[in-house]
Structure 1
């Protein structure tokens, strides 16, 4: 079956590219992907599978086999786009102003649609069940995966696999990470309320900007002095809204930021210290504060046993489409695949997609308006995940 599957996928490379380009030209924002979801669902119509739509939102879940015996393996790809104005100049660039597939979800969806179709044709040779998850809303917190997991759609899944394309590696290279793989993330918003006044008379006011500046600099001592140096995390203040006039003391300022952490234990430390620092501002500066935390995704944890098996499947596979399988460092990016791995042993690995013919070694990363991929990566993803499916079910 492996050989048949690889031959089928090779023969359908152009179809994968065509699907990717169609999706790329017609992106939709998170939680507004109705047309994309309909396009995916229509692809599976009149095929011998069970198709569930509107799962936890706009997600589409396809069940291959629904066997009464054997394990159930889930394969997941996301399909939402980003609020970015595309600058690639591609002939199939976005036709939706201000919306772009700048993270590769179009490629994720294209590979999985064709791989799933091939697996449907070969389903009689699969001793178990495969659930294909076409997921919405990955780019916008808390993430579509959370809403899917709040349903019973995946209650029978034993293991789950996901991939992501990244341009830091060439097509043909696959990277993996066992254990803590990607960071959790939580956004925060802090409003500091002082007393406005004239710049010439600061003693008659209470300067919220001074309190905010103290907060920004002191915030970094949480990581340097309150966290074990062997734990990985980051805190960033990305917005400081204190604009006013040169001779006016602002009445209030608003700061917004982001915390990243590789374990839920570290999040608890960061959250506790953040609240203590904010409470200290009130005592030290006599201001009033309002701190709000916005739920983000937890860290992605790759099951070590499953990850070891995935690496084994890939390194002993029959295809010549892979140039290398390498270990990845921990990544501080946020991925809602984490909601699956909280409940289901999973493995989320990375597919190189660095475009060919780059100029001056400039590679535009995910979420950049000029982000693009080497479309060979779509076929690599399909074959790599196909190898994992075959290895998982012990198919020769």
Structure 2
């Protein structure tokens, strides 16, 4: 990339910086939960309309897609931002803190949406230079399974798309760094519910009961053996029981039932399916040994986001050419879940992680925390990364199909 091109893109990013921050703060002040992003989607739609040169649609009730079709044929590049908030009461005292009780942007989706709007505003002025199409995908409901990405794929938003790029701001990465991962980025994120049916009775006569508490405790302990003894240490796997519910508070009553629930994180289809089978074998064996019965409900959640090698190499080159090697942060896969996988499963994609942590400013809280926020300097990096990616892929590529 030439010095002139870098300078121009810097100027363009500077020109939208105030807008991007203003949009981010608007979204932060007015958060909406998954599948309820009606006002957010309408604001995005109207803002995109004001830019001109875009074909804008509403593929679902609370999502928006805008198409910027260049003057010359070429590839179709999808850029994605998620828009939904979380059911968390904000504890920040910003002027732009959430005005909606019990709802806040605690994962950076407000910033993602603002960054993609800023990117669109810049790129509409580059229409004559674009070979192909940029498709801006403003996605609803990333936080709640089955997720908005899957719904948008079914609605046809990827029709004709050749490759996709997504960006997530990260509170674990210092501002200024850009995280890149080849291959799996996030884990398969599944959940389970177990009900153990025993036979209740008086605590003084346990021999007359089938104690689901004792059985449940054994189930919890033995589920840990799946990771420790049933899975290769080279395979990444987490099995976490996060809820154990039984009884009504009476100290002298053994209850009839126990309910357990939790999360499973894995990489790869084989480990995922092996874990489901092994879990049920353990639950079945323990409950039958004690004369109890069980119900086991396992829900496959978001699949693993897997970065395409070629697209990831393009993005690595883009980062190094734009910022230099020292800004690039090679990373290992994350155990979190992301429904960008619905896009990455369909077209070659790259999901990038942009640093938003700044300890000097007190921006240290993790995602989904009541005091989560991002260093707004990271918004510049996100916009610049999107724009440079388009410049790299769509202003110099060969015609589509070549």
User: Match of 2:373?
Assistant: 372
Report the Cα distance in structure 2 between the residues aligned to 1:66 and 1:223, rounded to whole angstroms.
51
> Could you say if the C-alpha distance between residues 67 and 333 of structure 1 is closer, same or farther in structure 2, counting changes exceeding 3 Å?
farther
Deviation digits for residues 47-67 of structure 1, max 9, x if unmatched? 1211111x2441101110067
Alignment: residue pair count? 391
TM-superposed CA distance for 1:356, in Å, is: 5.1
Report the Cα distance in structure 1 between the residues aligned to 2:350 and 2:387, rounded to whole angstroms.
14
User: Match of 1:285?
Assistant: 290
After TM superposition, the score normalised by the length of structure 2 is 0.94
TM-superposed CA distance for 1:323, in Å, is: 5.7
TM-superposed CA distance for 1:357, in Å, is: 2.7
- Determine which of 331, 336, 339 is the counterpart of 1:333: 336
Instruction: Determine if the alignment matches structure 1 residue 4 to structure 2 residue 8.
Output: yes
Question: Displaced runs of 4+ in structure 1, greater than 6 A?
Answer: none
Deviation digits for residues 34-58 of structure 1, max 9, x if unmatched? 00000000111251211111x2441
Report the Cα distance in structure 2 between the residues aligned to 1:233 and 1:130, rounded to whole angstroms.
37
- Give the secondary structure class of the aligned counterpart of 1:15: helix
Instruction: Determine if the alignment matches structure 1 residue 241 to structure 2 residue 245.
Output: yes
Report the Cα distance in structure 2 between the residues aligned to 1:327 and 1:182, rounded to whole angstroms.
14
User: Match of 1:181?
Assistant: 185
Report the Cα distance in structure 1 between the residues aligned to 2:389 and 2:16, rounded to whole angstroms.
19
User: Match of 2:137?
Assistant: 133
- Give the secondary structure class of the aligned counterpart of 1:230: coil
TM-superposed CA distance for 1:288, in Å, is: 1.3
Report the Cα distance in structure 2 between the residues aligned to 1:66 and 1:228, rounded to whole angstroms.
49
Report the Cα distance in structure 2 between the residues aligned to 1:293 and 1:68, rounded to whole angstroms.
49
Deviation digits for residues 62-99 of structure 1, max 9, x if unmatched? 11006773110000000000000000111110000000
Deviation digits for residues 316-344 of structure 1, max 9, x if unmatched? 12x58x96111011100100001111111
Q: Following superposition of structure 1 onto structure 2, how do residues 178-327 of structure 1 map, counting pairs within 5 Å? A: 178-243=182-247, 244-317=249-322, 324-327=327-330
Contact preservation (8 Å) 1:137, 1:143? yes
Deviation digits for residues 79-136 of structure 1, max 9, x if unmatched? 0000000001111100000000000000001111011111011111001111000000
- Determine which of 24, 31, 34 is the counterpart of 2:28: 24
Report the Cα distance in structure 1 between the residues aligned to 2:101 and 2:80, rounded to whole angstroms.
28
Report the Cα distance in structure 2 between the residues aligned to 1:216 and 1:274, rounded to whole angstroms.
10
Report the Cα distance in structure 1 between the residues aligned to 2:104 and 2:396, rounded to whole angstroms.
39
- Determine which of 325, 340, 347 is the counterpart of 1:344: 347
Deviation digits for residues 263-282 of structure 1, max 9, x if unmatched? 12211111111121122133
Deviation digits for residues 332-380 of structure 1, max 9, x if unmatched? 0100001111111100010000135345xx8210100000111000011
Contact preservation (8 Å) 1:219, 1:274? yes
Contact preservation (8 Å) 2:72, 2:131? no
TM-superposed CA distance for 1:172, in Å, is: 1.1
Report the Cα distance in structure 2 between the residues aligned to 1:233 and 1:394, rounded to whole angstroms.
42
Contact preservation (8 Å) 2:215, 2:286? yes
Report the Cα distance in structure 1 between the residues aligned to 2:213 and 2:70, rounded to whole angstroms.
60
Range with bigger deviation, 367-376 or 238-247 = 238-247
Q: Following superposition of structure 1 onto structure 2, how do residues 56-135 of structure 1 map, counting pairs within 5 Å? A: 56-65=60-69, 69-135=73-139
Contact preservation (8 Å) 1:67, 1:129? no
Contact preservation (8 Å) 2:200, 2:210? yes
Show structure 2 runs of 5+ residues with no match.
398-402
Contact preservation (8 Å) 1:12, 1:114? yes
Show structure 1 runs of 5+ residues with no match.
none
CA RMSD of aligned residues (A): 1.7
> Could you say if the C-alpha distance between residues 394 and 125 of structure 1 is closer, same or farther in structure 2, counting changes exceeding 3 Å?
closer
Contact preservation (8 Å) 1:57, 1:136? no
- Determine which of 35, 49, 53 is the counterpart of 2:54: 49
Instruction: Determine if the alignment matches structure 1 residue 384 to structure 2 residue 385.
Output: yes
Report the Cα distance in structure 1 between the residues aligned to 2:96 and 2:86, rounded to whole angstroms.
16
Q: Following superposition of structure 1 onto structure 2, how do residues 164-179 of structure 1 map, counting pairs within 5 Å? A: 164-179=168-183
